Chain A
Amino acid sequence: MEWLGINAGLGLAILGAALAVFLGGTGSSIGVGIAGQTSAGIMSEDPEKFGKLLLLQALPGTQGVYGLLIGFWILIRLTGVEVVTVDQGWQLLFACLPAAINGLMSGIWQGKVSAAAMNIIVKHPDASGKALILPAMVETYAIFGLLASLLLTNRVVF
Protein backbone atom coordinates (compact mmCIF):
# COMPACT_ATOMS: atom_id res chain seq x y z
CA MET A 1 0.00 0.00 0.00
CA GLU A 2 3.05 2.21 -0.48
CA TRP A 3 1.31 4.16 -3.22
CA LEU A 4 -1.35 5.34 -0.80
CA GLY A 5 1.38 7.04 1.23
CA ILE A 6 2.63 6.19 4.68
CA ASN A 7 -0.54 7.27 6.45
CA ALA A 8 -2.90 5.02 4.48
CA GLY A 9 -4.12 3.39 7.71
CA LEU A 10 -5.31 6.68 9.13
CA GLY A 11 -7.00 7.50 5.85
CA LEU A 12 -8.97 4.24 5.89
CA ALA A 13 -10.07 4.82 9.48
CA ILE A 14 -11.29 8.30 8.62
CA LEU A 15 -13.09 6.94 5.56
CA GLY A 16 -14.94 4.55 7.88
CA ALA A 17 -15.93 7.34 10.23
CA ALA A 18 -17.00 9.53 7.31
CA LEU A 19 -19.12 6.75 5.81
CA ALA A 20 -20.94 6.19 9.10
CA VAL A 21 -21.79 9.90 9.34
CA PHE A 22 -22.58 10.26 5.64
CA LEU A 23 -24.72 7.15 5.07
CA GLY A 24 -26.53 7.39 8.42
CA GLY A 25 -27.22 11.05 7.75
CA THR A 26 -28.46 10.35 4.22
CA GLY A 27 -30.86 7.68 5.47
CA SER A 28 -32.17 10.01 8.13
CA SER A 29 -32.59 13.01 5.90
CA ILE A 30 -34.57 10.99 3.37
CA GLY A 31 -36.67 9.42 6.13
CA VAL A 32 -37.32 12.66 7.97
CA GLY A 33 -38.02 14.23 4.58
CA ILE A 34 -40.74 11.76 3.65
CA ALA A 35 -42.34 11.90 7.09
CA GLY A 36 -42.05 15.69 7.03
CA GLN A 37 -43.95 15.98 3.75
CA THR A 38 -46.78 13.89 5.10
CA SER A 39 -46.96 15.84 8.34
CA ALA A 40 -46.89 19.12 6.41
CA GLY A 41 -49.84 17.85 4.40
CA ILE A 42 -51.75 16.93 7.53
CA MET A 43 -50.90 20.13 9.38
CA SER A 44 -51.90 22.39 6.52
CA GLU A 45 -55.44 21.14 7.13
CA ASP A 46 -55.24 20.43 10.86
CA PRO A 47 -52.45 22.34 12.70
CA GLU A 48 -53.64 20.94 16.05
CA LYS A 49 -52.00 17.62 15.21
CA PHE A 50 -48.49 19.10 15.50
CA GLY A 51 -47.68 17.55 18.90
CA LYS A 52 -48.66 14.06 17.85
CA LEU A 53 -46.86 14.24 14.53
CA LEU A 54 -43.61 15.70 15.81
CA LEU A 55 -42.36 12.53 17.47
CA LEU A 56 -43.19 10.43 14.42
CA GLN A 57 -41.30 12.80 12.18
CA ALA A 58 -38.27 12.91 14.48
CA LEU A 59 -37.98 9.13 14.75
CA PRO A 60 -36.17 8.53 11.44
CA GLY A 61 -33.65 11.16 12.55
CA THR A 62 -31.87 8.83 14.97
CA GLN A 63 -29.89 6.99 12.29
CA GLY A 64 -27.98 10.18 11.56
CA VAL A 65 -27.22 10.55 15.25
CA TYR A 66 -25.96 6.97 15.48
CA GLY A 67 -23.71 7.54 12.48
CA LEU A 68 -22.34 10.71 14.05
CA LEU A 69 -21.74 8.82 17.28
CA ILE A 70 -19.66 6.20 15.49
CA GLY A 71 -17.74 8.94 13.70
CA PHE A 72 -16.88 10.62 16.99
CA TRP A 73 -16.07 7.28 18.59
CA ILE A 74 -13.47 6.56 15.89
CA LEU A 75 -11.94 10.00 16.44
CA ILE A 76 -11.77 9.39 20.21
CA ARG A 77 -10.17 5.98 19.66
CA LEU A 78 -7.59 7.51 17.36
CA THR A 79 -6.58 10.27 19.77
CA GLY A 80 -3.02 9.73 20.97
CA VAL A 81 -2.38 6.87 18.53
CA GLU A 82 0.94 7.62 16.81
CA VAL A 83 0.69 5.37 13.76
CA VAL A 84 -2.38 3.61 12.39
CA THR A 85 -1.29 0.61 10.37
CA VAL A 86 -3.04 -0.30 7.13
CA ASP A 87 -4.42 -3.40 8.87
CA GLN A 88 -5.94 -1.34 11.67
CA GLY A 89 -7.29 1.14 9.14
CA TRP A 90 -9.15 -1.58 7.22
CA GLN A 91 -10.48 -3.02 10.47
CA LEU A 92 -11.90 0.31 11.55
CA LEU A 93 -13.38 0.94 8.11
CA PHE A 94 -15.23 -2.37 8.10
CA ALA A 95 -16.31 -1.95 11.70
CA CYS A 96 -18.13 1.24 10.70
CA LEU A 97 -20.20 -0.40 7.98
CA PRO A 98 -23.03 -1.90 10.11
CA ALA A 99 -24.00 1.51 11.50
CA ALA A 100 -23.51 3.17 8.11
CA ILE A 101 -25.51 0.78 5.89
CA ASN A 102 -28.15 -0.09 8.49
CA GLY A 103 -28.59 3.62 9.07
CA LEU A 104 -29.10 4.35 5.39
CA MET A 105 -31.67 1.66 4.79
CA SER A 106 -33.54 1.79 8.08
CA GLY A 107 -33.72 5.58 7.94
CA ILE A 108 -35.52 5.51 4.59
CA TRP A 109 -37.90 2.75 5.60
CA GLN A 110 -38.59 4.21 9.00
CA GLY A 111 -39.55 7.44 7.27
CA LYS A 112 -42.07 5.57 5.15
CA VAL A 113 -43.56 3.74 8.12
CA SER A 114 -43.72 7.01 10.05
CA ALA A 115 -45.59 8.68 7.22
CA ALA A 116 -47.99 5.75 7.07
CA ALA A 117 -48.44 5.84 10.85
CA MET A 118 -49.34 9.54 10.64
CA ASN A 119 -52.31 8.51 8.52
CA ILE A 120 -53.53 6.45 11.48
CA ILE A 121 -53.34 9.47 13.78
CA VAL A 122 -55.59 11.50 11.48
CA LYS A 123 -58.25 8.80 11.42
CA HIS A 124 -57.90 7.76 15.06
CA PRO A 125 -56.26 10.49 17.17
CA ASP A 126 -56.51 8.26 20.27
CA ALA A 127 -54.35 5.59 18.70
CA SER A 128 -51.22 7.76 18.51
CA GLY A 129 -49.41 5.54 21.03
CA LYS A 130 -50.04 2.46 18.94
CA ALA A 131 -49.09 4.30 15.76
CA LEU A 132 -45.73 5.14 17.30
CA ILE A 133 -44.90 1.46 17.87
CA LEU A 134 -44.83 0.69 14.15
CA PRO A 135 -41.91 2.92 13.11
CA ALA A 136 -40.22 2.16 16.44
CA MET A 137 -39.90 -1.45 15.25
CA VAL A 138 -37.66 -0.29 12.42
CA GLU A 139 -35.51 1.50 14.98
CA THR A 140 -34.44 -1.87 16.39
CA TYR A 141 -32.30 -2.56 13.36
CA ALA A 142 -30.65 0.84 13.38
CA ILE A 143 -29.73 0.16 17.02
CA PHE A 144 -28.32 -3.28 16.10
CA GLY A 145 -26.13 -1.58 13.52
CA LEU A 146 -24.89 0.96 16.06
CA LEU A 147 -24.21 -1.76 18.61
CA ALA A 148 -22.30 -3.93 16.16
CA SER A 149 -20.16 -1.01 15.02
CA LEU A 150 -19.37 0.01 18.59
CA LEU A 151 -18.36 -3.52 19.61
CA LEU A 152 -16.33 -4.04 16.46
CA THR A 153 -14.39 -0.77 16.71
CA ASN A 154 -13.59 -1.60 20.33
CA ARG A 155 -12.00 -4.88 19.27
CA VAL A 156 -9.40 -3.10 17.13
CA VAL A 157 -6.15 -3.05 19.14
CA PHE A 158 -3.47 -0.40 18.73
Chain B
Amino acid sequence: MSISHDSRYAYAVGRIRVLETRLLDMSKLGRMVEAKSADEALRILGETEYADLVSRAAGPQDYAAVTAGEITRVYSLMKKLLPDEALVDLFLIKYDIHNMKVALKAQFQGQNFEHLFIDAGLVPAKLMPYVCQQEKLQGVPPEYYAFASAAALAYEESKDPKVIDLVLDRMQYSHTAAMAEKHGYAFLARFLASQADLANIRSLVRTKRLGRGRDYLAGNLLPGGTVPQAVLLEALTEEWTAIIARFSSSPYQAVVEQGINALLESRGLTMLEKLSDGFLAELSRSVRFQAFGPEPVLNYILAKENEVRNIRIVMLGKLNGVPNEEIRERLREGYA
Protein backbone atom coordinates (compact mmCIF):
# COMPACT_ATOMS: atom_id res chain seq x y z
CA MET B 1 0.00 0.00 0.00
CA SER B 2 3.06 2.20 -0.23
CA ILE B 3 2.66 5.40 -2.14
CA SER B 4 5.39 5.17 -4.72
CA HIS B 5 7.93 7.89 -4.08
CA ASP B 6 7.86 8.51 -7.81
CA SER B 7 4.79 10.68 -7.32
CA ARG B 8 7.26 13.20 -5.91
CA TYR B 9 7.93 14.03 -9.54
CA ALA B 10 4.24 14.64 -10.33
CA TYR B 11 4.64 18.43 -10.46
CA ALA B 12 7.83 18.32 -12.49
CA VAL B 13 6.38 15.87 -14.99
CA GLY B 14 3.28 18.03 -15.49
CA ARG B 15 5.45 21.03 -16.17
CA ILE B 16 7.76 19.08 -18.45
CA ARG B 17 4.79 18.01 -20.57
CA VAL B 18 4.10 21.63 -21.43
CA LEU B 19 7.78 22.47 -21.93
CA GLU B 20 8.11 19.51 -24.29
CA THR B 21 5.57 21.08 -26.63
CA ARG B 22 7.92 24.08 -26.95
CA LEU B 23 10.92 22.05 -28.08
CA LEU B 24 12.11 22.86 -31.58
CA ASP B 25 10.79 20.25 -33.96
CA MET B 26 12.41 19.24 -37.20
CA SER B 27 10.18 21.60 -39.22
CA LYS B 28 11.38 24.61 -37.23
CA LEU B 29 15.00 23.50 -37.54
CA GLY B 30 14.33 22.85 -41.23
CA ARG B 31 13.20 26.46 -41.64
CA MET B 32 16.40 27.63 -39.98
CA VAL B 33 18.41 25.48 -42.39
CA GLU B 34 16.51 26.88 -45.39
CA ALA B 35 17.04 30.47 -44.19
CA LYS B 36 18.84 32.70 -46.71
CA SER B 37 21.34 33.99 -44.19
CA ALA B 38 22.60 33.41 -40.68
CA ASP B 39 20.70 36.57 -39.65
CA GLU B 40 17.44 35.11 -40.87
CA ALA B 41 18.15 31.77 -39.17
CA LEU B 42 18.66 33.60 -35.89
CA ARG B 43 15.45 35.56 -36.44
CA ILE B 44 13.54 32.27 -36.86
CA LEU B 45 15.10 31.06 -33.63
CA GLY B 46 13.84 34.26 -32.04
CA GLU B 47 10.24 33.18 -32.71
CA THR B 48 10.66 30.28 -30.29
CA GLU B 49 11.43 29.79 -26.59
CA TYR B 50 14.76 31.45 -27.34
CA ALA B 51 13.14 34.84 -28.00
CA ASP B 52 14.55 36.45 -24.88
CA LEU B 53 18.12 35.27 -25.42
CA VAL B 54 18.05 36.06 -29.14
CA SER B 55 16.90 39.62 -28.47
CA ARG B 56 19.96 40.12 -26.27
CA ALA B 57 22.36 38.67 -28.87
CA ALA B 58 24.40 41.14 -30.90
CA GLY B 59 24.11 39.06 -34.07
CA PRO B 60 24.31 35.54 -35.48
CA GLN B 61 27.97 35.23 -34.48
CA ASP B 62 26.70 35.40 -30.91
CA TYR B 63 24.87 32.07 -31.24
CA ALA B 64 27.14 30.32 -28.73
CA ALA B 65 26.04 32.73 -26.01
CA VAL B 66 22.40 32.08 -26.93
CA THR B 67 22.72 28.31 -26.69
CA ALA B 68 24.88 28.48 -23.54
CA GLY B 69 22.33 30.80 -21.94
CA GLU B 70 19.49 28.45 -22.82
CA ILE B 71 21.16 25.35 -21.44
CA THR B 72 22.04 27.09 -18.17
CA ARG B 73 18.46 28.31 -17.92
CA VAL B 74 17.18 24.75 -18.40
CA TYR B 75 19.51 23.30 -15.76
CA SER B 76 18.55 25.91 -13.18
CA LEU B 77 14.83 25.52 -13.97
CA MET B 78 15.14 21.75 -13.54
CA LYS B 79 16.87 22.26 -10.20
CA LYS B 80 13.88 24.28 -9.05
CA LEU B 81 11.36 21.72 -10.33
CA LEU B 82 12.88 18.53 -9.03
CA PRO B 83 12.65 17.14 -5.53
CA ASP B 84 16.33 16.14 -5.76
CA GLU B 85 18.97 18.39 -7.24
CA ALA B 86 21.32 15.43 -7.56
CA LEU B 87 19.64 14.45 -10.80
CA VAL B 88 20.58 17.72 -12.48
CA ASP B 89 24.05 17.64 -10.93
CA LEU B 90 24.73 14.45 -12.87
CA PHE B 91 24.38 16.43 -16.07
CA LEU B 92 26.75 19.13 -14.84
CA ILE B 93 29.71 16.82 -14.17
CA LYS B 94 30.71 16.96 -17.83
CA TYR B 95 31.19 20.74 -17.67
CA ASP B 96 33.39 20.43 -14.58
CA ILE B 97 35.50 17.81 -16.33
CA HIS B 98 35.75 20.01 -19.41
CA ASN B 99 36.89 22.93 -17.27
CA MET B 100 39.33 20.68 -15.46
CA LYS B 101 40.89 19.66 -18.79
CA VAL B 102 41.20 23.31 -19.76
CA ALA B 103 42.68 24.29 -16.40
CA LEU B 104 45.20 21.43 -16.39
CA LYS B 105 46.37 22.12 -19.92
CA ALA B 106 46.70 25.80 -19.12
CA GLN B 107 48.74 24.92 -16.05
CA PHE B 108 51.10 22.59 -17.91
CA GLN B 109 51.49 24.70 -21.01
CA GLY B 110 51.72 27.96 -19.11
CA GLN B 111 49.04 29.59 -21.22
CA ASN B 112 45.73 31.23 -20.47
CA PHE B 113 42.81 29.23 -21.83
CA GLU B 114 40.18 30.99 -19.72
CA HIS B 115 38.03 31.76 -22.77
CA LEU B 116 37.50 28.01 -23.23
CA PHE B 117 35.82 27.57 -19.84
CA ILE B 118 32.13 26.68 -19.87
CA ASP B 119 30.67 28.06 -16.69
CA ALA B 120 27.79 25.61 -16.32
CA GLY B 121 29.27 23.04 -13.96
CA LEU B 122 28.93 22.39 -10.24
CA VAL B 123 32.17 24.20 -9.53
CA PRO B 124 32.52 27.79 -10.82
CA ALA B 125 34.92 27.63 -13.76
CA LYS B 126 37.28 30.24 -12.33
CA LEU B 127 37.85 28.05 -9.27
CA MET B 128 38.93 25.05 -11.34
CA PRO B 129 42.62 26.06 -11.55
CA TYR B 130 42.69 26.02 -7.72
CA VAL B 131 41.09 22.57 -7.65
CA CYS B 132 43.81 21.39 -10.05
CA GLN B 133 46.42 22.71 -7.62
CA GLN B 134 44.75 20.64 -4.88
CA GLU B 135 43.58 23.65 -2.88
CA LYS B 136 40.75 22.44 -0.67
CA LEU B 137 37.67 24.52 -1.44
CA GLN B 138 34.17 24.33 -0.04
CA GLY B 139 31.49 22.82 -2.27
CA VAL B 140 33.92 20.99 -4.54
CA PRO B 141 33.15 17.25 -4.76
CA PRO B 142 36.10 15.50 -3.07
CA GLU B 143 36.48 13.12 -6.04
CA TYR B 144 37.58 16.01 -8.26
CA TYR B 145 40.88 16.33 -6.44
CA ALA B 146 41.64 12.68 -7.15
CA PHE B 147 40.71 13.15 -10.83
CA ALA B 148 42.96 16.16 -11.18
CA SER B 149 45.94 14.46 -9.56
CA ALA B 150 45.45 11.28 -11.62
CA ALA B 151 45.36 13.32 -14.84
CA ALA B 152 48.36 15.38 -13.76
CA LEU B 153 50.30 12.22 -12.94
CA ALA B 154 49.48 10.68 -16.33
CA TYR B 155 50.63 13.87 -18.03
CA GLU B 156 53.90 13.93 -16.06
CA GLU B 157 54.61 10.42 -17.31
CA SER B 158 53.84 10.95 -20.97
CA LYS B 159 54.12 14.74 -21.48
CA ASP B 160 51.26 14.40 -23.94
CA PRO B 161 48.31 16.76 -23.29
CA LYS B 162 45.94 14.32 -25.01
CA VAL B 163 46.44 11.94 -22.09
CA ILE B 164 44.67 14.45 -19.84
CA ASP B 165 41.55 14.15 -22.00
CA LEU B 166 41.66 10.37 -22.03
CA VAL B 167 42.13 10.01 -18.29
CA LEU B 168 39.46 12.58 -17.43
CA ASP B 169 36.95 11.14 -19.91
CA ARG B 170 37.25 7.79 -18.19
CA MET B 171 36.87 9.40 -14.76
CA GLN B 172 33.84 11.36 -15.93
CA TYR B 173 32.08 8.22 -17.12
CA SER B 174 32.78 6.11 -14.09
CA HIS B 175 31.97 8.98 -11.71
CA THR B 176 28.66 9.86 -13.41
CA ALA B 177 27.65 6.20 -13.57
CA ALA B 178 28.56 5.70 -9.90
CA MET B 179 26.50 8.75 -8.90
CA ALA B 180 23.52 7.57 -10.96
CA GLU B 181 23.79 4.19 -9.27
CA LYS B 182 24.12 5.74 -5.83
CA HIS B 183 20.99 7.86 -6.22
CA GLY B 184 19.06 4.98 -7.75
CA TYR B 185 18.43 6.44 -11.21
CA ALA B 186 18.18 3.07 -12.92
CA PHE B 187 17.26 4.45 -16.31
CA LEU B 188 20.07 6.99 -16.33
CA ALA B 189 22.54 4.25 -15.41
CA ARG B 190 21.31 2.24 -18.39
CA PHE B 191 21.56 5.26 -20.64
CA LEU B 192 25.12 5.96 -19.53
CA ALA B 193 26.10 2.33 -20.13
CA SER B 194 24.78 2.54 -23.69
CA GLN B 195 26.55 5.84 -24.17
CA ALA B 196 29.83 4.26 -23.07
CA ASP B 197 29.24 1.23 -25.32
CA LEU B 198 28.60 3.39 -28.35
CA ALA B 199 31.61 5.60 -27.66
CA ASN B 200 33.73 2.44 -27.37
CA ILE B 201 32.36 1.08 -30.64
CA ARG B 202 33.24 4.36 -32.31
CA SER B 203 36.74 4.16 -30.81
CA LEU B 204 37.09 0.62 -32.13
CA VAL B 205 36.07 1.62 -35.64
CA ARG B 206 38.26 4.74 -35.59
CA THR B 207 41.29 2.83 -34.28
CA LYS B 208 40.89 0.12 -36.91
CA ARG B 209 40.48 2.72 -39.63
CA LEU B 210 43.62 4.51 -38.52
CA GLY B 211 45.44 1.16 -38.37
CA ARG B 212 46.50 1.73 -34.77
CA GLY B 213 47.14 -1.05 -32.27
CA ARG B 214 45.54 -2.50 -29.16
CA ASP B 215 47.26 -0.10 -26.78
CA TYR B 216 45.88 2.91 -28.58
CA LEU B 217 42.36 1.49 -28.41
CA ALA B 218 42.74 0.41 -24.79
CA GLY B 219 43.68 3.98 -23.90
CA ASN B 220 40.54 5.29 -25.54
CA LEU B 221 38.02 2.82 -24.09
CA LEU B 222 35.55 4.10 -21.51
CA PRO B 223 34.50 2.08 -18.45
CA GLY B 224 30.93 1.18 -17.51
CA GLY B 225 29.67 -0.26 -20.79
CA THR B 226 27.96 -3.61 -21.24
CA VAL B 227 30.29 -4.77 -24.01
CA PRO B 228 33.42 -6.13 -22.29
CA GLN B 229 36.63 -4.33 -23.17
CA ALA B 230 38.28 -7.66 -24.04
CA VAL B 231 35.69 -8.20 -26.77
CA LEU B 232 36.39 -4.79 -28.27
CA LEU B 233 40.15 -5.33 -28.18
CA GLU B 234 39.77 -8.73 -29.79
CA ALA B 235 37.55 -7.30 -32.53
CA LEU B 236 40.28 -4.86 -33.51
CA THR B 237 42.23 -7.54 -35.40
CA GLU B 238 39.17 -8.88 -37.24
CA GLU B 239 37.78 -8.09 -40.67
CA TRP B 240 34.98 -5.49 -40.93
CA THR B 241 32.44 -8.22 -41.72
CA ALA B 242 33.50 -10.18 -38.67
CA ILE B 243 33.04 -7.10 -36.51
CA ILE B 244 29.54 -6.62 -37.88
CA ALA B 245 28.80 -10.30 -37.17
CA ARG B 246 30.16 -9.96 -33.64
CA PHE B 247 27.55 -7.34 -32.79
CA SER B 248 24.73 -9.04 -34.72
CA SER B 249 22.92 -10.17 -31.57
CA SER B 250 23.59 -7.02 -29.55
CA PRO B 251 21.25 -4.02 -29.35
CA TYR B 252 23.85 -2.08 -31.36
CA GLN B 253 23.50 -4.35 -34.39
CA ALA B 254 21.91 -1.72 -36.68
CA VAL B 255 24.30 1.02 -35.57
CA VAL B 256 27.38 -1.10 -36.18
CA GLU B 257 26.20 -2.59 -39.47
CA GLN B 258 24.97 0.61 -41.11
CA GLY B 259 27.79 2.69 -39.65
CA ILE B 260 30.53 0.39 -40.92
CA ASN B 261 28.84 -0.02 -44.30
CA ALA B 262 28.72 3.75 -44.69
CA LEU B 263 32.40 3.87 -43.78
CA LEU B 264 33.23 1.18 -46.36
CA GLU B 265 31.33 3.15 -48.99
CA SER B 266 33.82 5.90 -48.08
CA ARG B 267 31.21 8.15 -46.52
CA GLY B 268 33.31 8.62 -43.41
CA LEU B 269 32.47 8.26 -39.75
CA THR B 270 29.64 10.82 -39.70
CA MET B 271 27.02 8.13 -40.30
CA LEU B 272 28.24 6.02 -37.37
CA GLU B 273 28.17 9.08 -35.12
CA LYS B 274 24.71 10.02 -36.26
CA LEU B 275 23.42 6.47 -35.81
CA SER B 276 24.79 6.20 -32.29
CA ASP B 277 23.22 9.52 -31.32
CA GLY B 278 19.98 8.23 -32.85
CA PHE B 279 20.21 5.07 -30.76
CA LEU B 280 20.50 7.12 -27.57
CA ALA B 281 17.60 9.36 -28.62
CA GLU B 282 15.46 6.30 -29.23
CA LEU B 283 16.41 4.83 -25.85
CA SER B 284 15.48 8.06 -24.11
CA ARG B 285 12.24 8.43 -26.07
CA SER B 286 11.17 4.97 -24.97
CA VAL B 287 10.59 6.15 -21.39
CA ARG B 288 9.23 9.63 -21.98
CA PHE B 289 5.58 8.64 -21.63
CA GLN B 290 5.95 7.41 -18.08
CA ALA B 291 3.62 9.51 -15.98
CA PHE B 292 5.72 9.33 -12.81
CA GLY B 293 9.35 9.13 -11.89
CA PRO B 294 12.41 11.02 -13.09
CA GLU B 295 12.49 9.55 -16.62
CA PRO B 296 10.43 12.24 -18.40
CA VAL B 297 12.65 14.87 -16.78
CA LEU B 298 15.77 13.08 -17.97
CA ASN B 299 14.36 12.83 -21.44
CA TYR B 300 13.62 16.56 -21.44
CA ILE B 301 17.14 17.52 -20.34
CA LEU B 302 18.62 15.21 -22.99
CA ALA B 303 16.23 16.63 -25.58
CA LYS B 304 17.30 20.16 -24.68
CA GLU B 305 21.00 19.26 -24.91
CA ASN B 306 20.30 17.73 -28.30
CA GLU B 307 18.34 20.77 -29.44
CA VAL B 308 21.14 23.12 -28.45
CA ARG B 309 23.59 20.92 -30.33
CA ASN B 310 21.40 21.09 -33.44
CA ILE B 311 21.11 24.87 -33.22
CA ARG B 312 24.88 25.13 -33.01
CA ILE B 313 25.20 22.91 -36.10
CA VAL B 314 22.75 25.08 -38.05
CA MET B 315 24.21 28.44 -36.98
CA LEU B 316 27.79 27.35 -37.51
CA GLY B 317 26.84 25.99 -40.94
CA LYS B 318 24.98 29.16 -41.87
CA LEU B 319 27.80 31.43 -40.76
CA ASN B 320 30.31 29.43 -42.81
CA GLY B 321 28.12 29.08 -45.87
CA VAL B 322 27.84 25.30 -45.65
CA PRO B 323 25.31 23.97 -48.21
CA ASN B 324 21.84 23.34 -46.76
CA GLU B 325 21.93 19.66 -47.66
CA GLU B 326 25.12 19.16 -45.71
CA ILE B 327 23.77 20.95 -42.64
CA ARG B 328 20.64 18.84 -42.78
CA GLU B 329 22.70 15.66 -42.88
CA ARG B 330 24.51 16.65 -39.71
CA LEU B 331 21.35 17.35 -37.71
CA ARG B 332 20.46 14.84 -35.01
CA GLU B 333 16.94 13.54 -34.66
CA GLY B 334 14.93 14.94 -31.78
CA TYR B 335 14.06 13.38 -28.45
CA ALA B 336 10.46 14.53 -28.35
Contacts and interface: CB of A to CB of B under 8 A. Distances in A.
Interface of A: 30, 34-35, 37-42, 44-46, 104-105, 108, 112, 115-116, 118-119, 122-123
On chain B, which size bracket covers the interface? Answer: 10 to 19
B299 to A, nearest CB: 13
Contacts of A30: 3
B13 interface: yes
B253 interface: no
A115 B21 contact: no
Given A119-B13, A119-B291, A42 B18 contact: yes
B17 interface: yes
Interface stretch (B4-12, B38-46, B201-209, B235-243): B4-12
A55 B93 CA distance: 42
Q: Name the residue among B10, B15, B20 with the largest chain A CB count within 10 angstroms.
A: B10
A39 B14 CA distance: 6
26 contacts: A30-B3, A34-B10, A37-B10, A37-B11, A38-B10, A38-B11, A38-B291, A40-B11, A41-B10, A41-B12, A41-B18, A42-B15, A42-B17, A42-B18, A45-B15, A45-B19, A105-B1, A108-B3, A112-B7, A112-B292, A115-B7, A116-B292, A119-B289, A119-B291, A122-B14, A122-B18
A41 B16 contact: yes
A105 B8 CA distance: 18
A17 to B, nearest CB: 22
Given A34-B7, A42-B17, A108-B3, 6 more contacts: A41-B15, A45-B15, A115-B14, A116-B291, A119-B17, A122-B14
Contacts of A115: 7, 10, 13-14, 291-292
Contacts of B1: 104-105
A26 B155 CA distance: 62
Contacts of B7: 34, 37, 112, 115
Contacts of A123: 17, 20-21
A45 B18 contact: yes
B10 A119 contact: no
A39 B19 CA distance: 14
B67 to A, nearest CB: 21
B204 to A, nearest CB: 40
B13 A38 contact: yes
A45 B18 CA distance: 6
B10 A122 contact: no
A119 B292 contact: no
Interface in B78-127: 81
